[in-house]
Amino acid sequence: MMNATRFRTLLITACAVVGSPPSDALAARLRAGVAKVDITNTGAGPINDPLFVKALVIKDDATTVVVVTVDAVAIGEIGHIRNDYLSKVRSRLEKELGIKPQSVLVNASHCHGVVCADVDERTFQAVKQAASHLVPVNVGAGVGHENRIMENRRLRLKSGKEADVRHAYALPPDEEVVGTGPVDPEIGVLRLDREDGRTLAVVYNFACHPIMGVPSGGNTADLTGFASKAIEDNLSDGTIALFLQGCGGDVNPALYKDVDNPRNAEPLGNLLGLSTLRALKTIRSKDDGRLKVIHETIALPRADVAKRIIAMESEQQALLQSLQGTSLNLKTFLPLAVKYGVSGDYPSYYSHRYMSEKAAGRDDLTRLDAENRVNMKQYVDNIHIMEQLTRTQTNLALLRKHQADNAAAGSKTVDVEVLGVRVGDFVLVTFPGELTVQTGLDVKQASPHDLTFVAGYTNGYIYYAPTAEQLKNVGGAQEDSDCILAPEWQKIYEDTVAELLKKL
Ligand SMILES: [Zn+2]
């Protein structure tokens, strides 16, 4: 059976080849320019691969759209980009290049690399360079497919609650886990080609935390940096690939908690890059003058988790009190765990001794084994309680921080920017936080446009934005704890996006 993604690719290719262009595609040919500037912090220890700010400027006679991608964790609030970055960049672009602030889209890849201090200046330089080298372009859009490199990081537990996969704490025991959430294998792709057929730029959108790291431990743009390099190296000279992070809030790289092999973003990034290149081969560009940008500011409700904090504090107390006295300590437990794991029936000595005791009417070893097994179970139960306490404590700290910040904000709502952009068949909406993958799937499903994509981490950062359903689990996982929003945010955002998509 042909899957939806593949069908969409074929449909778009077919339209590009045999279909007549829509009437509004007869507008003047678009012009575009692209540039990239290194923003690696050279004073922050060893460098594995460079971080970049990349700028794409697309213009017709009436409209200018600027797409900026930054290899950084977020646009302000956390990490190394300061809160005044976006306003500084925008006001300078307006003053010196006449570009309206509302038409500037800045997306953070969410890699955890360390950028230089003057990233705002270098961002301006990248846009200026792109804007001063505009050439006529043909545009094309489509989708690629990649499902090997990522996994949903929220684990559904037998208890009905959810936990998540982090290095900040231990996972629940395997037998408590009954399932995981969805992923979005779609790569949204926009290509801009020069009139002579050479590629100028590729914009691609995918949902996954780029946090795998590299074996050297050096500064890295992580898997999306490697993906962009694979794309750039395999297209026309000078092609620039701009990665737009999608709804990756609850999506991790596959094997993120591996302890047997050095964790390496490069093979994952290469797979993403190759899958994007494969999609590009199916996408024909054409003279399509449709270019639109819509900017909206919406107020989203802030959370009040005071009651949940009190409930979690008593859960924490109950967990502490459930720790039981054990005869064993780590030094005596570990060798027992190995012996009882290797030789279930005769852990304490060779089997013949158990037989000899039985023949003599004794059961000394069997009794010792029974006692050790009780002690080991108590010790393991304590370990699981300790692991649960690490999760509770970490997520409780996040709830307390955001509860304090929300109280200090002096407003029950937070204003956020939402952008809608159309370039030819490529339609994109944005959000300034970590949307989880279900929201991206929902927006795509409900959109009237076939090639609709969603970029989180754009034009600001308001932490995680889990779905209302995920927020029933407040305090259980990072996404629902590292969050300032009340569950009602989701409907407001999705309604706004639905209206915005109609206008694109
Ligand atoms: Zn994140």
Per residue in 444-457, pLDDT (tens digit) is 999 999 999 999 99
In percent, how much of the chain has pLDDT > 90?
94
- Picking from 358, 388, 408, the residue at the C-terminal end of a domain is 408
- 11 domain residue, yes or no: no
Centre of ligand 1 to C-alpha 277, Å, is: 26
Check whether residue 377 and residue 257 sit in a common domain: no
- 176 domain residue, yes or no: yes
Check whether residue 375 and residue 285 sit in a common domain: no
Check whether residue 260 and residue 376 sit in a common domain: no
Centre of ligand 1 to C-alpha 435, Å, is: 9
- 153 domain residue, yes or no: yes
DSSP string for 394-420: HHHHHHHHHHHHHHHT-SSEEEEEEEE
SS3 461: coil
Taking the CA atoms of 277, 282, 286 and 290 in sequence, report the sign of the dihedral they define.
negative
- 10 domain residue, yes or no: no
146-182: buried (b, 16+ CB within 10 Å) or exposed (e) per residue? Answer: beebbbbbbbbbeeeebbbbbeebbebeeeeeeebbe
For position 18, what pLDDT does the model report?
A: 32
Check whether residue 455 and residue 397 sit in a common domain: no
In percent, how much of the chain has pLDDT > 70?
95
Check whether residue 217 and residue 134 sit in a common domain: yes
Check whether residue 99 and residue 185 sit in a common domain: yes
Centre of ligand 1 to C-alpha 18, Å, is: 42
Centre of ligand 1 to C-alpha 350, Å, is: 52
Centre of ligand 1 to C-alpha 335, Å, is: 39
Centre of ligand 1 to C-alpha 209, Å, is: 6
Check whether residue 460 and residue 390 sit in a common domain: no
Residues 433 and 440: their CA atoms lie apart, in Å, by 13
Distances (CA, A) of 272 to 124, 187, 233, 309, 456: 29, 9, 14, 40, 19
Centre of ligand 1 to C-alpha 248, Å, is: 7
Q: Which residues pair with 66 in a beta bridge?
A: 57, 104
Centre of ligand 1 to C-alpha 378, Å, is: 36
Sorting pLDDT into bands at 50, 70 and 90, what band is 25? very low
Pull the structure tokens for residue 386: 């300790």
SS3 442: helix
- 148 domain residue, yes or no: yes
SS3 232: helix
Centre of ligand 1 to C-alpha 434, Å, is: 6
Residues 171 and 99: their CA atoms lie apart, in Å, by 48
- Picking from 361, 386, 408, the residue at the C-terminal end of a domain is 408
CB 66, CB 93: distance < 8 Å:
yes
Check whether residue 327 and residue 262 sit in a common domain: no
- 8 domain residue, yes or no: no
Pull the structure tokens for residue 428: 């994109």
Residues 314 and 271: their CA atoms lie apart, in Å, by 46
Residues 310 and 229: their CA atoms lie apart, in Å, by 48
Centre of ligand 1 to C-alpha 415, Å, is: 20
Centre of ligand 1 to C-alpha 214, Å, is: 18
Check whether residue 287 and residue 428 sit in a common domain: yes
For position 12, what pLDDT does the model report?
A: 39
- 266 domain residue, yes or no: yes
Centre of ligand 1 to C-alpha 384, Å, is: 26
Sorting pLDDT into bands at 50, 70 and 90, what band is 10? very low
The C-alpha R_g of the chain, in whole angstroms, comes to 27
Identify the domain containing residue 213 by its residue range: 24-302+411-503
Q: Which residues contact 466 (CB under 8 A, 6 or more apart)?
A: 249, 250, 436, 479, 480, 483
pLDDT tens digits for 75-126?
A: 999 999 999 999 999 999 999 999 999 999 999 999 999 999 999 999 999 9
Check whether residue 363 and residue 443 sit in a common domain: no
Centre of ligand 1 to C-alpha 221, Å, is: 15
Residues 203 and 243: their CA atoms lie apart, in Å, by 6
Check whether residue 189 and residue 280 sit in a common domain: yes
pLDDT tens digits for 489-498?
A: 999 999 999 9
Regarding pTM above 0.85, the answer is yes
Environment class of 454 (CB within 10 Å of its CB; exposed 0-12, middle 13-18, buried 19+): buried
Average pLDDT of every residue of the chain? 94
Check whether residue 293 and residue 181 sit in a common domain: yes
- Picking from 381, 408, 435, the residue at the C-terminal end of a domain is 408
Centre of ligand 1 to C-alpha 192, Å, is: 30
Domain count of the fold of the chain: 2
Centre of ligand 1 to C-alpha 249, Å, is: 6
Sorting pLDDT into bands at 50, 70 and 90, what band is 438? very high
- 265 domain residue, yes or no: yes
